[in-house]
Each structure stands twice: as C-alpha cells, then as structure tokens.
Amino acid sequence: MNGRTAAVGDTVGGGMYRFLFQPKWLAFHALCAAVIVAMINLGFWQIRRLEEKRTFNDNVRAAADAPVTTYDDLLSTTPDGAADDLQYRRVEVTGTYLPREFEVVNVSQGGQSGHDQVGALQLADGTLLLVNRGFAPGLAALPELPEGEVTVVGRIRRSQEARRGQVADDGTQQLTEIRRVDIDVLSTQFDRPVQPVYLDALQEDGAPISGLIPIAFPSLNEGPHLSYSIQWFVFSAFVAGGWVLAIRKSISDRAEAAAEAAGRPPTKRKKPLIPEQYL
C-alpha cells in the first residue's frame, strides 16, 4: 500500500476522527460544552426563581388572609429584627395624626398616574407609625388629615429603599414631597422614634378613607420564570444539535475529499431540506 492509499484509508477509516482532537476543534468543543452547561444552569436558576416566587406568593396570601389583630399584640409577639416577616398582615391601631404629611409623587395605580398621602400617626407610647392613607389619581387634591384620635386598619409594609440607579430622598432637608416611604429617611423629619414598618391604610374609624383609593394589593402572578427556563433549555438543545451537525458536516466533507483523492466518485449527498441559496 503506497503512502497516498494509506492516507486515504486513515481519512475514511478510524483515523477520520483524529481531526476532532486538533487544537481548534478542542477549543470548539470546550466552547460548545461551556455554553450548554451555562444555559442549563440558567434554566435551573429560573426554576429556582419560580419556586421562590411561588413561596413568596403563598406567604403573602397567608398573611393577607390572617385575621385582623392589634398592632401592639402583633409586634409584641414578633422577635426583634423580624418585623419584615409581618408584611401584608392586617392590623388595627389607634393614634392621633401629627399635623405633618408627605406626598409621594410620581406613582401610578390602575393605569393612572397620581400621588399618595402619607401621615404620621402618634401612638400611645409616643412613637410614630407612618401611614400611607391612599392614592389620589392625577392632580386631585389630597384630603385633610383627620383631627383627634383615629383607629386605622391597614396592611403592614416594610420600608421602601432606593434601588441602584434611583435617586433617594434627602433626609437632611425638610421634606414635603417624597419618592417612596423610606422609613430611615422620614425618621429624620421627627424628634421622636418611628416604628420600623408602615401601614397601607384600608379603613379609618371603620369606613373607607374619603377622597383616596386604597393602595393596590400586589399582583401575585408567577412572572416569566417558567417560560424563561424553557427557553434556556431549548437554546441548550439547539447548541448541542449544532455541535453535532458541525462535526457530521466536517466528517462528510473530509470523506468526500478523501474519495476524490482516491479517484472514487464522491458519495451522493441527500438533497438538503433547505436549498443552499436560502441558507
């Protein structure tokens, strides 16, 4: 067997796969494997996000459906530092509004832009509980704060904070308009302690608050996590399929080149499903 025949035999026989171990092919394999692993991990990450969202929704529903209790009783049975766990619990609290209010600007609800009214309710122990009394659409005037003792029923909310890239309110200035109910910022506006949570008011003295719409309950949908996870798994399958097709195409091309070098007619290819001019 001469050298040319031996080379051809290596190409069409077991040696035809040796090219897959060339540096550029090894780099291609590593890239494909890394992309597939990354996409699969992203798919499972979205599934974990979905489970977290479902757990959050279940906790919110359970808290919202719990019976109304007094604010003092609920706080007294809550460990220090765990006030955030009380979010969306309905409570009843009695106090007197200070003659000081804040307007939360640039908010929207139900497809309408508007503003919220936030007051500071002084409790029997002298501390203050911030209360978001509700939403007023458009440029509608905010109602006057009630005078005298009032009993508020509302949902507990944790402090809002500026996210990355958002502008925070400057607590060193006297504030009238605010961007959010940031308790740390608003506590600088008073000379007495402020409670670590605030309320989204539902009623005052057993009736809806005139001139305001209660703050909307959050939407408890599952978000796009399931569809995103499916997309990542599909993308990983596409990459794996493309990897295999690229290898098969290279093997086929090398086999044809070897056949031509040996003077044999090339293997007849199947007609592609998509004509080359459209690829």
Q: Which residue has the higher pLDDT, 154 or 263?
A: 154
- To the nearest whole percent, how much of the chain has pLDDT over 70? 86
Interval 59-78: pLDDT, tens: 889 888 899 999 998 887 77
- Is the predicted pLDDT of residue 11 greater than 50, yes or no? no
- Contact between residue 149 and residue 198 where contact means Cβ atoms under 8 Å apart: no
**pLDDT score, position 153:** 97
Provide the mean pLDDT of the chain.
87
Interval 116-131: pLDDT, tens: 999 999 999 999 999 9
Mean pLDDT value of segment 118-145: 96
**pLDDT score, position 267:** 57
- Is the predicted pLDDT of residue 264 greater than 90, yes or no? no
Is 42 exposed, middle or buried, given 0-12, 13-18 or 19+ CB atoms closer than 10 A? middle
Interval 161-210: pLDDT, tens: 988 889 999 989 999 999 999 999 999 999 999 999 999 999 999 999 99
- Contact between residue 120 and residue 171 where contact means Cβ atoms under 8 Å apart: no
Interval 21-73: pLDDT, tens: 888 889 999 999 999 999 999 999 999 999 999 998 998 898 888 999 999 98
Domain ranges of the chain: 18-48+224-278, 89-204
Confidence of residue 15 (pLDDT cuts 50, 70, 90): low
**pLDDT score, position 1:** 47
